């Protein structure tokens, strides 16, 4: 969605290898892009899957995922269990109008280099293949759980803290992208019922243009920093793994083996920033009950709209997504108490990643609260324009016009309330 610098070799960035908590290995180069064929599921995606796990093509089993409303997503695996899955994403019709695919891949690789994205195996002209992340895609009921939203806040802070290359000062493309979308929205629909809804429930182009000008003038001056953002952090784009015990009873072992295993567990936990507890030591060094508990983790997926943008926009957009997509309910938008907890967790993590300590003041939380809720307006407006374009071009069965109406209605409903908020002195 937004631009990022093209300088710097992403493949030179180190990242932690999952099997070695103390080791760092260079990011492997991606396979070359494949040529596109005309078949619905062309040879390039199969080649990408086979490059990940060599096998007989006939043994590949597909699983079509149905949650997305932009692209087709297929999981490819072997055997009865989906344990080692490669995801193949086939881009939706005319989505090149909405998404810069080159920028998507660049952002994907930067995030992968910093441990914030799965491995990207290959790309082809109308899609890409990448690693499947095990876990549960979240719903609105999950993201208001303090144990989970603190993990989300921390992961988003990690992405926002990624430094731009070579001292480059990033700029947001939000307003430019919004104007491009505005130029692509339909003026009407051939379907009579659809056109009637469009004319009666969507604001006029003059009103939309006036609102865009107002937002650019007001929101650009809120002082929110421009950082690398996800820009589409809806619930289903967050994958959660519950906590687990990585060590339990070690039992009878030699002194050397026990000490090595305990040291390894502690180092692994420190690397993951997770608490370890030595529950009991009985019978000298020959019997140990050792438990290392992880509090769970979250990973984000789908980086189509990722790029440099206002920090507060990314958070405000996520708060809007508490309402869901298919059955939107804005009564689920987080209240002040939840937002304060979320924003404090975020600021603590962001400062830690930036090397500023972890102390957060009430004034900092208040300032971010105002920025986030005012930028939430831009999120409503952006996805309203996006949905109008999808209503014209998408072949996916979804009421995009209805979704656009809901987003614009919420924009105008929220505007008086959030613009009344005043920055602390």
Residue 330 lies in a domain: yes
Q: Is residue 277 part of a domain?
A: yes
Number of domains in the chain: 3
Higher model confidence: residue 291 or residue 111?
A: 111
Task: Name the least confident of 65-69, 242-246, 371-375, 388-392.
Answer: 242-246
Is residue 425, in this structure, part of any structural domain at all?
no
How wide is the angle at C-alpha 348 spanned by C-alphas 343 and 353, nearest 5°? Answer: 120
Rounded to 10 degrees, what is the CA torsion of 191, 404, 125, 101? 150
- Predicted confidence (pLDDT) at residue 76 exceeds the cutoff of 70: yes
Residue 81, pLDDT > 70, answer no
Among 80-84, 203-207, 219-223, 263-267, the least confident range: 263-267
**What CATH code is carried by the domain that includes residue 102?**
3.30.200
Give the number of other Cβ atoms within 10 Å of residue 358's Cβ: 10
Residue 100 pLDDT greater than 80, yes or no? yes
Residue 385, both tokens: 């324009």
Position 276 confidence tier, pLDDT thresholds 50, 70, 90: very low
Count Cβ atoms within 10 A of the Cβ of residue 379 and give its class: 0-12 exposed, 13-18 middle, 19 or more buried.
buried
Over residues 49-74, the mean pLDDT reads 63
Total count of residues recorded for the chain? 425
pLDDT tier at 57 (50, 70, 90 boundaries)? low
- The verdict on 182 and 247 lying in the same domain is no
Same domain, yes or no: 219 and 307: yes
CATH number at residue 234: 3.90.1200.10
Domain annotation covers residue 316: yes
Tell me which of 264, 279, 295 is where a domain ends: 295
Note down the domain range covering 271: 243-295
Distances (CA, A) of 307 to 45, 109, 150, 158: 25, 12, 23, 14
Query: Do 284 and 368 reside in the same domain of the chain?
Result: no
291/413 same-domain check: no
Q: What is the mean pLDDT of the chain?
A: 79
Q: Are residues 320 and 409 part of one domain?
A: yes
- Tell me: do 113 and 253 sit in the same domain: no
Report the 10 Å Cβ neighbour count for 139: 11
270 domain-assigned: yes
- Same-domain check for residues 41 and 21: yes
What pLDDT sits at residue 122?
Answer: 86
Out of 46-55, 136-145, 287-296, the most confident range is 136-145
Q: Are residues 231 and 191 in the same domain?
A: yes
- N-terminal to C-terminal alpha carbon distance within the chain: 34
Q: Is the predicted pLDDT of residue 416 greater than 90, yes or no? A: yes
pLDDT at residue number 130: 86
Q: Looking at the structure, tell me whether residues 195 and 287 fall in a common domain.
A: no
Q: Is the Cα torsion angle 175, 181, 184, 185 positive or negative in sign? A: negative
pLDDT at residue 259, rounded to an integer: 42
% the chain with pLDDT above 90 = 51
Distance CA 111, CA 304 (A): 12
For residue 1, being part of any structural domain is answered with: no
pLDDT of residue 173: 92
Q: Which helix (H) or strand (E) holds 408?
A: helix 400-419
User: Is residue 3 included in any domain, yes or no?
Assistant: no
The predicted-structure confidence for 301-322, as pLDDT tens digits, reads as follows 988 899 999 999 999 999 999 9
Query: 335 and 306 in one domain?
Result: yes
| Domain boundary residue, one of 111, 135, 159 | 135
407 and 385 assigned to the same domain: yes
Is position 106 within any domain? yes
Residues 217 and 316 in one domain: yes
Can you tell me the mean pLDDT for 155-161?
A: 97
Of 135, 151, 183, which residue sits at a domain end?
135
Answer for the pair 394, 400: CB distance below 8 angstroms, yes or no: yes
- The confidence score (pLDDT) of residue 47 equals 52
Tell which wins on pLDDT, 220 or 133.
220
Residue-level pLDDT at 54: 52
Query: Of all residues in the chain, what percent carry a pLDDT higher than 70?
Result: 71
Place of tokens 């924003």: 343
- Tell me the Cα Rg of the chain: 23
Contact between 76 and 60 under an 8 Å Cβ cutoff? The reply is yes
């Amino acid at each position: 969605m937004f631009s990022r610098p093209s300088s710097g070799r992403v493949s030179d960035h180190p990242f932690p290898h999952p099997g070695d908590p103390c080791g760092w290995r260079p990011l492997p180069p991606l396979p070359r892009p494949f040529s596109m064929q005309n078949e619905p599921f062309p040879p390039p995606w199969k080649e990408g899957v086979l490059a990940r796990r060599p096998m007989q093509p006939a043994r590949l089993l597909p699983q079509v995922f149905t949650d997305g409303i932009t692209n087709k997503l297929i999981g490819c695996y072997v055997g009865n269990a989906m344990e080692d899955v490669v995801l193949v994403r086939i881009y939706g019709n005319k989505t090149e109008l909405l998404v810069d695919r080159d920028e998507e891949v660049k952002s994907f690789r930067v995030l992968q280099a910093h441990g914030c994205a799965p491995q990207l195996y290959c790309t082809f002209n109308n899609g890409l293949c990448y690693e499947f992340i095990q876990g549960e895609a979240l719903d609105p009921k999950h993201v208001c759980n303090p144990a989970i939203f603190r993990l989300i806040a921390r992961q988003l802070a990690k992405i926002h803290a990624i430094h731009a290359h070579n001292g480059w000062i990033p700029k947001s493309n939000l307003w430019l992208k919004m104007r491009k979308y505005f130029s692509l929205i339909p003026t009407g629909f051939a379907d009579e019922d659809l056109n009637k809804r469009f004319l009666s429930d969507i604001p006029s182009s003059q009103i939309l243009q006036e609102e865009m000008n107002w937002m650019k003038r007001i929101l650009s001056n809120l002082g929110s920093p421009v950082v690398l953002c996800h820009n589409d952090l809806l619930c289903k784009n967050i994958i959660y793994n519950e906590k687990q015990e990585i060590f339990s009873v070690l039992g009878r072992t030699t002194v050397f083996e026990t000490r090595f295993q305990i040291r390894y567990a502690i180092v692994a936990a420190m690397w993951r920033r997770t608490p370890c507890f030595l529950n009991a030591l009985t019978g000298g060094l020959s019997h140990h009950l050792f438990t290392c508990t992880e509090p769970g983790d979250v990973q984000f997926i789908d980086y189509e709209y990722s790029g440099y943008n206002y920090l507060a926009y990314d958070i405000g957009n996520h708060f809007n997504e508490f309402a869901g997509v298919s059955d939107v309910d804005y009564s689920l938008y987080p209240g002040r108490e939840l937002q304060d907890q979320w924003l404090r967790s975020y600021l603590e993590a962001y400062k830690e990643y930036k090397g500023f300590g972890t102390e957060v003041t009430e004034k900092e939380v208040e300032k971010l609260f105002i920025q986030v809720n005012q930028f939430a307006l831009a999120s409503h407006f952006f996805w309203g324009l996006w949905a109008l374009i999808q209503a014209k071009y998408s072949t996916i069965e979804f009421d995009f016009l209805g979704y656009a109406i809901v987003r614009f209605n919420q924009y105008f409903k929220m505007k008086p309330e959030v613009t009344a908020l005043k920055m602390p002195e």
